Amino acid sequence: NPNSQGLSEKQKQQIEMDEYNIQKELKLSPLARLGEALRHHPDWKNQLSYLEVVENTRVPIVKFTHGPTNINMDICFNQETGLLAADLMKRLLDAMPPLKPLTFVLKYFLAARGLNEPYTGGCGSFLLQLMIVSFLQHRERHSLQHGSSGGGGDTMNLGSMLLEFFELYGMDFNYLTTGISIRSDGFYFPKGAKGKKEHFFHSTRLFSLAMENPFEITSDVGQTSYRMQLIAKSFETAMRVLLSHTAEPVIYTESILASILPPTEEMFQRATMYKVYKIERQLEQRSGRKNDNETGNEKNDNDGRKRKASSELESDSDMEDSE
């Protein structure tokens, strides 16, 4: 405010209070008020590289990115299942080791194609994680039925799992008729069944993915993902691209995974940091072995000197006895 120049801090605050429009503030939703507070807060306004209030969606949110760390945050109000969902995913991550790496790869795969935001019809994090959990549940059940659980081959091969995931949701899964639940070790259900149709069958979005919310079994997590047909097509294309580098005739590439996941500068930096870390670890281990060998050699030398001294003492003792 140009009129506040030369005034004390208290006088500046009084001017701000006089100019404050309480009626305008009351017209804003709680999320919009939070967005305004973040946008004008002295400690945050220069820290945010992106901020958006998304209210025209099933779960309104405030989205922002912390510039210095490039961490994305979503905030919503009055969603009691949020904490339950977070706790469930923690337990599933512990129980299903492949869930974490598959989630990382597939989240980046979708983000690179602009298909990761539910409010634009994409596949959000919770829906994606439920898809992966369902895939792993049915895969493990199939392995148990055919006696291959815990065995060799591709049973726990992440590359094979990624291909199978793309094949399932890109080619084999029937989005028109089938819904998914992860309850009771996972099962499929008809979208048109009694008690399901009114919640999971959407006549205007026949290709939507019907995904039961494990905490609200009449709630469809996939309802907002109206671009699911495009997402499924991207899965199918990715599977065919990956196969082109592994099947005859092989199409050579420096990195098979990079053919579907465009590397970023951050990825190259992380790869370099990891290589440096591995080299440092190897040097530390070699140094430790060298020190152990030197300590062992020194110990052997000391033992040798002790044995020599003991032998000399015994000889002196024998000479004294003979005298």
> In 10 A of CB 152, how many CB atoms?
8
The pLDDT value recorded for residue 317 is: 45
The pLDDT value recorded for residue 313 is: 46
Q: In 119-246, where do the E strands start and end?
A: 178-181, 187-190, 210-213, 216-220
Taking the mean position of all CA atoms in its chain, how far away is CA 212? 21
Q: Which of 228, 235, 188 is nearest to 212 (CA)?
A: 188
Integer Cα distance of 63 and 73 in angstroms? 6
Do 162 and 105 form a contact (C-beta atoms < 8 A)? yes
pLDDT digits (tens, 9 = 90+) for 149-191: 544 445 578 999 999 999 999 999 999 999 999 999 999 999 9
Is the pLDDT confidence value at 321 over 70? no
What are the residues facing 15 on neighbouring strands?
Answer: none
Integer Cα distance of 37 and 53 in angstroms? 12
DSSP state of 247: S
State how beta strands 187-190 and 61-66 pair.
unpaired
Do 168 and 161 form a contact (C-beta atoms < 8 A)? no
pLDDT digits (tens, 9 = 90+) for 16-73: 655 555 445 556 788 888 888 888 888 888 888 888 888 877 778 888 898 888 888 8
